A and B are shown apart, each in its own frame.
Chain A
Amino acid sequence: MSKTDNIFAKVISNPAICKEYGITDPERYDNIALGLKSSNGYVQAIAQILKEVSFTYESKRQDMAIRHKEGTVVLEENEMKSIYRKIVGILEKTR
């Protein structure tokens, strides 16, 4: 179980999320791949966010490591906007 899967499991099992989005069996979502395949649009959106953010973050971190750069990895606004739009698309389909 990767760190991202672990975070996903913790977020999905949050009582407020479960209640708001009708998730009755959060324990079955123990990895992101399962979340991405979920029929619940909200679960899918959360999994997508974790996948996209994780990918962007890791890419930037590795880039910095190769260049021997010190400091904190920060996501740029345009990178976040791109992910945001994708998520809004998923949520708009979920009515």
Chain B
Amino acid sequence: MIIKKLIIKNFRSYYGEKVFEFQKGLNLILGANGDGKTTFFDALDFVFSIDDVERRSFSYSACVSKKMFSELAPGATGKVMVSVDVLNSDNRPRTIEREMEVRKKEDGTMSIVSSSHLGYLPLINGGRKTVMVKDLLYGEGLFPPIIKKYSLFKGEKALNIFEDKTTLKNLINLFSDIKDLGPYKDFAKFGEDTSSRAVTNAQRKDKQAGEAAAQLLREKELLESYLAQENSRLADLRTTYSDNQARIDAIEADLETIELVHGMQDAIKDLQDEVDILRDKLDENYSTNLLDRLWILNGFQPVLEEFAEKMSDFSEKKQTLINIEKERAIREKAEREAEAKTIAELKAKLTELPWYIPDVKTMQSMLEKERCLVCGTEAPKGSSAYAHIAKHLEEALEHINKTHKQEHKEEIVEELFKLRNVESLHQMSIQLYQYGINLNDISAEIEKEKSRNDGLHLEIQDKNQTIDEKQTEMARVLSQSASGHDIGELAGSWLNIKHWYKTREDASIEIERITSKRIPELKKKIAENTEKYKKAVVDITAKEFLKINTFYKLLGDALERAESRTLEEFMDKLATTANRFLEMLNIDDFTGEIDISRDFRDNSINVHLVGSDGKNIDNPNTSLFTTMHLSVLFAISELTKDNLNSEYPMILDAPTSSFDEGKDKTFYQVMNEKLDKQCIIVTKSYLYKDESDKFAVDEKGIQKLLSVKHIPVYRIQKRTGFDKKDQSTIETIVTPLF
């Protein structure tokens, strides 16, 4: 199939009708970023896609040229179309058109009026016959989806088709004979099962069959069930391996970074924990400590000392007073005793009072009787005699009371100090003085506390600074994600990632054990058991069925082996063809050799470069990596020609974006010179920025390229004078060069 002509009409930035004509060999579309390269690619994808088959749908409204739509009057309609003229594998012209009509509603919004996707066959009379697109794509093999998948590549990264684990299966289905073995294998299995049941039935019927044969049959069934279990387990393990490999592949490029970030996260967390511990140790409750820890008493020591001194003086004075008082009391007591002694002596010497000197009792009786008992005269109340008696009685009583009061005076003096307040105060002052000595330590304690807190603050500050530095370093490392994954999140899941590796490793070891040991052992035992069983079976019918059973079993094994050989042949062929292209595309450059091998653990295909020593070439440069992928793709394309008797164009969007300027031109030079298939490439190679900072075509480079062979070269670019914020002003213009 060759694409001859492509018409893009009102498709996104391709305003109006733009025409490209192509030929076999290299075709170049030159455009800078934003000039419509990807839209060109998408237009081709749009016209060749069958949405329901590929399980996707184009957004029709997104395909409409904003400029065309903006120019529509309300109620008017406009047409969007992509049309491609091709030659099929028999060199017959065919056309595929995908179009739609849109209307601008009164409110300015868009409605899709109609859409169609049709194929056309030219008629002799100049007309054309309409056919279904599927009939062309499948019936005539014009870019069926599975071929398109390995022919259209958007961007350099998409060239690595083997990242997709379904690729091997698809390629084998497309190009190898392996899929053709499926029905035969199914039939061989059917034959083996059917004949096995026949053997069993015959054996059961055969009364001569011994217990040994029956036992062997049971053993065989058991061994076969073990084998089935191992195969099932193998399939599970391959899935596990494949799943974890896919996870690892996705992050492999960032693994070291993730591990580094994980270490940093741990270190930062440890530091933060240390900061938390230090913060817990801080005690800066200075205000509450004034009362809680009596810091408020700081400076009270001189006051308490003075208080103690004064109380000591006071106590001494009190003691002096007590002593004086004691001396006085002793002296008075001695005086009283001397007085009493004198009185007693005097009393002893006293004569009885004369009758005319009455005592208190007599005088009281005299007042009661109102008669003087001394003289015997009446002394009625109010008389001078009564008053005389009363006066004497009063004097006598006063004298007695005075004496009595003097006796009690001593006791009162003693009671003045009985509360012992002075002693208590003195004692208190001593205690406070002792306490005051300790108050001298408060200053030191406060100073020590403050110094400790200052030390902790410094330590916290240091650690916070280290944390900041580590976080800055971590942010720098995070920005270096090679895969575009969130490294921080992945680092947080470091244990999961370790688990992926471990699970993959465990699965790999177990797959190795099962495939290299367990399954061969079981197969050997089954084979031995079958041999024994053959000898044990004596019944002629059973023996006959057994022969048939053996035949199918051998056929099944032979088909398995043929499948394996076919796969190896396919990979050899793919590698040989790919290496031919690799050598061609890397002229004058080191290439190594493409090695294509199958990973038996998950049935995936590994493509890598090996040196002459047979060892893998680690980290090949991007351009070599890209040419390796392109070589494999060209090889696949070549296999298409051989196996499907049809050739398909390769359509590549910016495949050489990582190439340096010299390398990409050499690449296109070689492509033009040596490539014998249609290849349409949209690229910004051969464009450079001139003095006015605008993209210009490297005419010398193009002339050199065309000197080998004339090829179609188109320049696509945005029409100047557009409004950067208004999509309806954007228009891609197409200019054929040379």
Nearest A residue to B181 via CB reads A7
Would you call the interface of chain A mostly helix, strand, loop, or mixed? helix
Contact B134 A17 (CB under 8 A): no
A84 to B552, CA, bound (A): 10
Indicate if A25 sits at the interface (CB-CB under 8 A).
no
Contact B550 A10 (CB under 8 A): no
Nearest A residue to B194 via CB reads A84
A84 to B191, CA, bound (A): 6
**By CB atoms of chain A within 10 A, which of B138, B181, B551, B562 has the most?**
B551
Contact B184 A50 (CB under 8 A): yes
Report if A7-B184 is in contact (Cβ < 8 Å); known contacts: A65-B138, A91-B551.
yes
Indicate if B306 sits at the interface (CB-CB under 8 A).
no
Would you call the interface of chain B mostly helix, strand, loop, or mixed? helix
Q: Which of B120-144 contact A (CB under 8 A)?
A: 134, 138-139
Contact A7 B562 (CB under 8 A): yes
Contact B194 A53 (CB under 8 A): no
Picked from B184, B195, B551, B559, the residue with its CB within 8 Å of the CB of A45 is B551
Closest CB in chain B relative to A26 CB, distance in Å: 11
**By CB atoms of chain A within 10 A, which of B53, B138, B190 has the most?**
B190
Contact B191 A87 (CB under 8 A): yes
Contact B187 A75 (CB under 8 A): yes
Picked from B188, B554, B566, the residue with its CB within 8 Å of the CB of A10 is B566
Indicate if B177 sits at the interface (CB-CB under 8 A).
yes
A91 to B544, CA, bound (A): 9
A83 to B138, CA, bound (A): 31
Indicate if B565 sits at the interface (CB-CB under 8 A).
yes
A residues contacting the other copy or chain, number (CB 8 A)? 34
Interface bits B549-561 vs A (CB < 8 Å: 1, else 0): 0110011011101
Indicate if A14 sits at the interface (CB-CB under 8 A).
yes
Contact A75 B138 (CB under 8 A): no
A6 to B569, CA, bound (A): 12
Nearest B residue to A92 via CB reads B544
Indicate if A73 sits at the interface (CB-CB under 8 A).
yes
Contact A42 B551 (CB under 8 A): yes
Report if A49-B558 is in contact (Cβ < 8 Å); known contacts: A3-B177, A87-B191.
no
Picked from A16, A54, A70, A80, the residue with its CB within 8 Å of the CB of B558 is A16
Indicate if B247 sits at the interface (CB-CB under 8 A).
no
Picked from A54, A75, A80, A91, the residue with its CB within 8 Å of the CB of B548 is A91
Report if A17-B184 is in contact (Cβ < 8 Å); known contacts: A7-B177, A80-B190.
no
Closest CB in chain B relative to A87 CB, distance in Å: 7
Contact B555 A73 (CB under 8 A): no
Nearest B residue to A6 via CB reads B177
Report if A53-B557 is in contact (Cβ < 8 Å); known contacts: A80-B190, A84-B194.
no
Indicate if B186 sits at the interface (CB-CB under 8 A).
yes
Indicate if A88 sits at the interface (CB-CB under 8 A).
yes
Indicate if B354 sits at the interface (CB-CB under 8 A).
no
Report if A11-B558 is in contact (Cβ < 8 Å); known contacts: A20-B550, A45-B551, A92-B544.
yes
Closest CB in chain A relative to B116 CB, distance in Å: 18
Q: Which residues of B contact A65 (CB under 8 A)?
A: 138-139
Nearest A residue to B544 via CB reads A92
Indicate if B341 sits at the interface (CB-CB under 8 A).
no
A74 to B184, CA, bound (A): 11
Q: Which residues of A contact B191 (CB under 8 A)?
A: 49, 80, 84, 87
Indicate if B547 sits at the interface (CB-CB under 8 A).
yes
Report if A4-B558 is in contact (Cβ < 8 Å); known contacts: A68-B134, A91-B548, A92-B544.
no
A44 to B566, CA, bound (A): 23
Closest CB in chain A relative to B429 CB, distance in Å: 110
A17 to B561, CA, bound (A): 12
Contact B187 A80 (CB under 8 A): yes
A42 to B548, CA, bound (A): 10
A84 to B53, CA, bound (A): 37
A77 to B191, CA, bound (A): 11
Closest CB in chain B relative to A8 CB, distance in Å: 9
Q: Which of B96-149 contact A (CB under 8 A)?
A: 134, 138-139
Report if A75-B183 is in contact (Cβ < 8 Å); known contacts: A11-B555, A92-B544.
yes
Report if A53-B183 is in contact (Cβ < 8 Å); known contacts: A16-B554, A46-B555.
yes
Nearest A residue to B184 via CB reads A53
Contact A10 B551 (CB under 8 A): no
Closest CB in chain A relative to B183 CB, distance in Å: 5
Interface bits B146-185 vs A (CB < 8 Å: 1, else 0): 0000000000000000000000000000000100110110
Contact B561 A14 (CB under 8 A): yes
Q: Which residues of B contact A56 (CB under 8 A)?
A: 183
Contact B558 A14 (CB under 8 A): yes
Interface bits A57-69 vs B (CB < 8 Å: 1, else 0): 1000000010010
Q: Which of B507-546 contact A (CB under 8 A)?
A: 544
Contact A17 B138 (CB under 8 A): no
Nearest B residue to A83 via CB reads B187
Contact B562 A10 (CB under 8 A): yes
Nearest A residue to B182 via CB reads A72
Q: Which residues of B contact A3 (CB under 8 A)?
A: 177, 180
A65 to B565, CA, bound (A): 29
Picked from B53, B183, B547, B554, the residue with its CB within 8 Å of the CB of A57 is B183
Closest CB in chain A relative to B178 CB, distance in Å: 10
The 5 closest A-B pairs by CB, nearest first: A14-B558, A10-B562, A11-B558, A57-B183, A80-B190
8 A–B contact pairs at CB < 8 A?
Answer: A3-B180, A7-B562, A17-B555, A49-B187, A54-B183, A80-B186, A81-B194, A91-B547
**Known A20-B550, A53-B183, A88-B548; 14 more pairs at CB < 8 Å:** A3-B177, A6-B177, A7-B184, A14-B558, A20-B554, A42-B551, A49-B188, A56-B183, A68-B138, A74-B186, A75-B186, A80-B187, A84-B194, A92-B544
Could you tell me which A residues sit within 8 Å of B by CB distance?
A: 3-4, 6-7, 10-11, 14, 16-17, 20, 42, 45-46, 49-50, 53-54, 56-57, 65, 68, 70, 73-75, 77, 80-81, 83-84, 87-88, 91-92
